Structure 1
Amino acid sequence: MIVLAACVALLGSLFFAVGAALQQFEAAAAARPGLLRLARRPRWLLGGAAIVAGGGLHILALSLGPLTIVQPMGVSSLLFALPVAAALHGRRPVREELAAAAVVTVGLIGLVLVVPPPTTEPTLSTPGALVLLGIAAFTALLAGGVARAAAPPWRAGLLATGAGVLYGATATLTRVLVDGAWEPWFLLAVPPPAVLALAMLQRAYAIGHFAVAFTALQLSDPLTAIAFGAVLLGEPLPTGVTEATIAAAAAALTAGGTVALARTTPLTQR
């Protein structure tokens, strides 16, 4: 069952990577990467369907095997996404790009593995939910504002980071809705940050630096969910010296790989 869970998670990562690459291709080709305009493009919708399928496979994998096996497989979507996106744009990814992506992947896996699984059902109060949504909205707006004055690679990264924070907040609310105690209005609170995150992500994709945008998304989304889970839901964090050392090393690898990816040639020359 563990091998099956790993295979299903790997397949889900492939679907997610293909979907992200398709949406980036269409966002980069659009004169204005707004959601209403992109929703008229069949290939962008196909990318969305692939992402939904990848998410479904990831959930299925979690039902078949432990989190410590499934989550690292999900991170591998970065290694799938770069070659697919490059092929769509008619070029090959350079070795330096793939090497940097591999470094980021190793760092993300390290960060995922040191986080202990939750031991209790999550509970979120109305004030806690308002704090969660407020912090996520403020961070996304701040990232979007700073991105206006940033160079193209960092603009893509900042917009994708804002999207990742919003997705992380959405994931936290969804976890409470699925497994914990919640208020009825939480059902209405989930769609707005998810839609805003999708819009910000398409703006990031349109810039052309797909490697930076996708890496920033892959990093900010889970870290935001982990932070909100620890602060608002009381979920555990790594406390031992070994876990802290691994987390620090993984963070350093992720940061170094991200900086290296920011220096690579963009997929689309604007």
Structure 2
Amino acid sequence: MAVAAAASNALSSVMQREANRKRSEETFGLRLLGSLVRQPAWLVGAAAMLASFLLQAGALSRGELSSVEPVLVLELPMTLILASAVLHHHLLLRDWAGIVTMTAGLVLFVALLSPSGGDAAHVSALVSLLATVGTAAGIAALTAFAAAGPARSRAALFGVAAGSGFGLTASLIKVAMARLSAGGVVGLFTAWQTYGFAVTGVASVVLIQAALHAGTLVAAQPGITLFDPLVSLLWGTVVLGETVSTSVSALALAALGAAMIAGSVMVLARSSQRAAELADR
């Protein structure tokens, strides 16, 4: 289900980037958002994003936050493959090498850390609230820096803010799904996290539109791809009490896997840039 969520996110990124590219001359704001929602490409992307949220919720109801969210980094190679098919852009050998390396790094990272346990249903309300406020404050700061900073850094900063927002949303979904399992529909709708993830999810969608409008995928996608699982991993281990392997060898190999993922993101993001340039011709 997490892989399917990543695929839906990939479709969403390609279609929404296409919609934003056609409005690149407009200033980002409510007027632009209003014009985007009337474009068929954007609507397809929005539907794919909704499907991704539902699939992600299903995955989080069955697995640990720390193991589900890292799988979503597969969104980037899937985005590249889909953009290649849509834009008739041939993948190079290094692109395929990056895809294979990222996949291997992901398997290494999740398998070696081996997340387990946690008790999202009984997490302290105060701890959950403080973690939400702290994460939201960081996202707000990133958004402010992006809006006020130089144009060349806006897409990257908005991307980091959007990725962090999706990580926060996934964390709140995990708690809400635990409330659903423990208390049924009543438990779901009496949990403030249910309304919290609705708000942060919408805010993250707006931030990703800002990132995709401010620049190309090469600038925006690394932050979106990496900070979602990073924030989720921190929430899983610090807030929800999930445990990971702490042996020196496991941590060293997990760090190697993380480095493989990060390096692959940079290689594949450059390929996303080439695809975007091809689309602009």
Q: What TM-score does the superposition give when structure 2 sets the normalisation length?
A: 0.75
Cα shift at 1:42:
1.9
Give the stretch that moved more between structures: 242-251 or 142-151: 142-151
Q: Distance in 1 between matches of 2:256 and 2:83?
A: 29
Native 8 Å contact 2:57 2:173 kept in 1: no
Question: Greater RCO between the two (CA within 8 Å, min separation 6)?
Answer: 2
1:108/1:217 Cα in 2 relative to 1: closer, same or farther (>3 Å)?
farther
| 1:23 aligns with one of 13, 16, 24 | 16
Q: 2:112 aligns with which of 105, 114, 119?
A: 114
Deviations along 1:42-69, one digit per CA (max 9) or x if unpaired, are: 2211112123334545666788999999
Per the normalisation by structure 1, the TM-score is 0.78
- Determine if contact 2:102/2:261 at 8 Å carries over to the other structure: yes
Contact 2:69/2:233 (8 A) holds in 1: no
The aligned length equals 262
Structure 2 portions without partners, runs of 5+: none
Partner of 1:42: 40
Higher mean C-alpha displacement, 170-179 vs 130-139: 130-139
CA-based RMSD? 3.5
C-alpha change, 1:147 and 1:247, in structure 2 (3 Å) is: farther
Q: Which of the numbers 79, 82, 85 marks the counterpart of 2:83?
A: 85
Change (3 A) 1:197 1:15: closer
Tell me: CA distance 1:120–1:104, structure 2 relative to 1, closer, same or farther (3 Å).
closer
SS in structure 1 opposite 2:243?
Answer: coil
Amino acid paired to 1:114? L
CA distance in 2, matches of 1:227, 1:79: 24
- 8 Å CA contact retained: 1:19, 1:48: yes
> Are residues 1:257 and 2:264 paired?
yes
> Aligned partners of 2:36, 2:48: CA distance in 1, in Å?
15
Question: In structure 2, which of residues 238, 245, 254 is the aligned counterpart of residue 238 of structure 1?
Answer: 245
> For residues 177 and 205 of structure 1, what CA distance do their matches in structure 2 show?
29
Residue type of the alignment partner of 1:22: M
**Corresponding residue of 2:173:** 174
Aligned counterparts of 2:252 and 2:229: Cα–Cα separation in 1:
19
The structure with the greater share of residues assigned to helix is 2
- Residue segments in structure 1 that go unaligned for 5+ positions in a row: 1-7
Identical columns (%): 29
- The answer (yes or no) to whether the contact 1:27–1:202 under 8 Å persists in 2 is yes
Question: Would the aligned equivalents of 1:75 and 1:109 in 2 still touch at CA under 8 Å?
Answer: no
| Pair 1:75–1:257, CA change in 2 (3 A) | closer
